[in-house]
């Protein structure tokens, strides 16, 4: 699944020791830019995502998996991010190349 929004908060990294060895988790919050914006908290596990290169307020696109687990009769859902990118900002939409109105492609050839 993917979600796009503005990064609004990066929480401190958490570390610990589990039965499979040490673990690291860093949660972050984005706000969607829909008509009715929603805040979504996602978790980056291990070293899959480097959040240090993103700044608060920056638009990001997050690829994530949804996973739920049961503990003592209650269910908990995690949104686990596995890829974060900054979407390309373009000032105008790309023309449809199949359209009759698409501009001719320019090349550097002298002939």
Q: Does 30 score more than 90 pLDDT? A: yes
* Tokens at 86, concatenated: 């900054």
Q: Do the strands 74-85 and 39-45 form a parallel or antiparallel pair, or are they unpaired?
A: parallel
Per-domain residue ranges of the chain = 2-85
Q: Does 64 score more than 90 pLDDT? A: yes
pLDDT at 99: 46
Q: Does 88 score more than 90 pLDDT? A: no
pLDDT at 91: 40
Q: Do the strands 21-32 and 39-45 form a parallel or antiparallel pair, or are they unpaired?
A: antiparallel
* Residues linked to residue 40 through DSSP beta bridges, in sequence order: 30
* Residues linked to residue 16 through DSSP beta bridges, in sequence order: 23
pLDDT at 41: 97
CATH for the 2-85 domain, from 2.40.50.140, 1.10.10.10, 3.40.50.720, 3.40.1360.10:
2.40.50.140
pLDDT at 35: 93
């Amino acid at each position: 699944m993917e979600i796009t929004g503005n990064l609004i908060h990066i929480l401190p990294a958490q570390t610990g020791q589990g039965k499979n060895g040490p673990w690291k988790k860093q949660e972050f919050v984005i706000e969607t830019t829909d008509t009715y914006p929603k805040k979504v908290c996602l978790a980056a596990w291990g070293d899959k995502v480097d959040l240090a290169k993103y700044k608060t307020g920056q638009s990001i696109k997050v690829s994530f998996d949804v996973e739920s687990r049961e503990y003592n009769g209650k269910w908990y859902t995690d949104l686990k991010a596995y890829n974060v990118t900054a979407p390309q900002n373009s000032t105008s939409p790309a023309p449809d190349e199949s359209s009759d109105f698409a501009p001719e492609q320019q090349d550097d050839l002298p002939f």
